[in-house]
Amino acid sequence: ANEASGYGSVIAGGSFNSANGTNAIVGAGSGNLSSGGNSAVFAGANNRSYGDFSFVGGGLMNETRGTSSIVAGGYNNYSSGNNSSILGGIFNQVSGNNSSSIAGSGNLVNGNFSSITAGNNNRVLNYSSTIVAGDTNIISGAQSFIGGGSLKTTP
């Protein structure tokens, strides 16, 4: 059974979905939860949208916690920064504000105003920095850039 218990909340279909945030929406799928105010989970399974004005498009076991954060799809992605986004991939995390991870696996964007576009196991740990692609690259310094490759680091 579905449960729409938040004021103005809506569940369009699916099974075992919950919408308990004010004006929260779950479109379809199974086991999805939309609990942030004005938050939504469109489809998929076991996705969670906790942040206000946050959105999960689909996929499996994705989660948003930041205000106005987005996970478009993929598997087990986690977006906790405000105004942050993950478009897809698996096991990606974005905790920096105004930051994003486009695709890939195991990437972490911890710096504000930072991004990783693709690759595996990359880390951006400071602000205004970008890794375009590659494997196991780490940015520690602010306003830094790694275009690609493997095992590269910045001070």
What does the pLDDT look like over 93-149, one tens digit per residue? 999 999 999 999 999 999 999 999 999 999 999 999 999 999 999 999 999 999 999
pTM (2 d.p.): 0.95
pLDDT > 90? residue 26: yes
Buried b (16+ CB within 10 A) or exposed e, 44-54: bbbbbbbbbbb
pLDDT tens for 77-95 read 999 999 999 999 999 999 9
> How far is residue 42 CA from its own chain's centroid?
14
Separation between Cα atoms, residue 99 and residue 95, nearest integer Å: 8
Percentage of the chain exceeding pLDDT 90: 99
Separation between Cα atoms, residue 118 and residue 109, nearest integer Å: 12
How does the average pLDDT of the chain come out, rounded? 97
Kind plus residue range of the DSSP H or E element containing 64: strand 63-64
Q: What is the pLDDT of residue 155?
A: 78
pLDDT tens for 32-51 read 999 999 999 999 999 999 99
